[in-house]
Amino acid sequence: MDKRKDYSKTVSLPKTDFQMKADLAHKEPVFVEEWDSERLYVKICEKNKDKEKFIFHDGPPYANANIHIGTGLNKVLKDFIIKYRSMSGNYVPFTPGWDCHGLPIEQLVLKEMKTDKNKVDRLVFRKKAADFAKKFIEIQKNEFKRLGVIADWDHPYLTLDPKYEMFIVKVFGNLVEKGFIYRKKKPVYWCPTCETAMADAEVEYSDYSSDSIFVKFQIISLPEPFKAKETLLKDFSVLI
């Protein structure tokens, strides 16, 4: 082999301007900026606006922290469906949303203020909680954009938006008028530490030992109506 010869020039490869180095840390923000400036979401919707509509409702993430693997995966999986349906020819308007109320936000705000809710003015506290939620809405929005999620980011629905709250009251009023709302007694779980009501799904039970036993009975014969299936069930058991 002639060491002076550049053998790389003898390899027949297609010519391309595409760079070999991915360098995504620098390229991805450029992609996102281009999609924003080109109004890619709007163009996709306009292209299919006269086609069959496909509506996908966004169950909102909580506006109290940066996105994590759960919120990120959730939004990316939704984006798969949105893009697949759009590429299939459907008109797919997608409005992202955020849950802006609740105890997790309040606890973080109190921690930030280094106080507790018995020592802070309610109106001041509510204003700080709303500002806290709005801050993380913008943070999460930019993080979702970096994941390549296409949505109507300029017009999200927010549970603290007065219009959103107005429609909640309006729907509740309709339910009252139709007789679906009634008052009775119901036990409500209460957290003495957080001093707030708790949803059933939030209640955790400590481990305990039980005297209950489970016995496995093997099937050896079946009543007449099931005789035809006796050979199929010979290795089956019943748990009692």
Q: What is the pLDDT of residues 58-107, one digit of tens each?
A: 999 999 999 999 999 999 999 999 999 999 999 999 999 999 998 889 98
CATH fold label, 31-198: Rossmann fold (3.40.50)
- Contacts of 71-75 spanning 24+ positions with Cβ under 8 A: 71/140, 72/143, 72/144, 72/147, 75/144, 75/147, 75/149
| Residue 93: partners with Cβ closer than 8 Å, 6 or more residues away | 45, 53, 55, 152
Residue carrying structure tokens 């970096």: 146
Helix (H) or strand (E) holding 27: helix 24-37
What residue segments make up the domains of the chain, in order of their start?
Answer: 31-198
In this prediction, residue 1 has a pLDDT band, given cuts at 50, 70 and 90, of low
Q: What is the pLDDT of residues 154-209, one digit of tens each?
A: 999 999 999 999 999 999 999 999 999 999 998 888 888 877 888 888 788 888 88
Q: Give CA angle at 107 (105, 198), nearest 5°.
A: 85
- Can you give the pTM of this predicted structure? 0.72
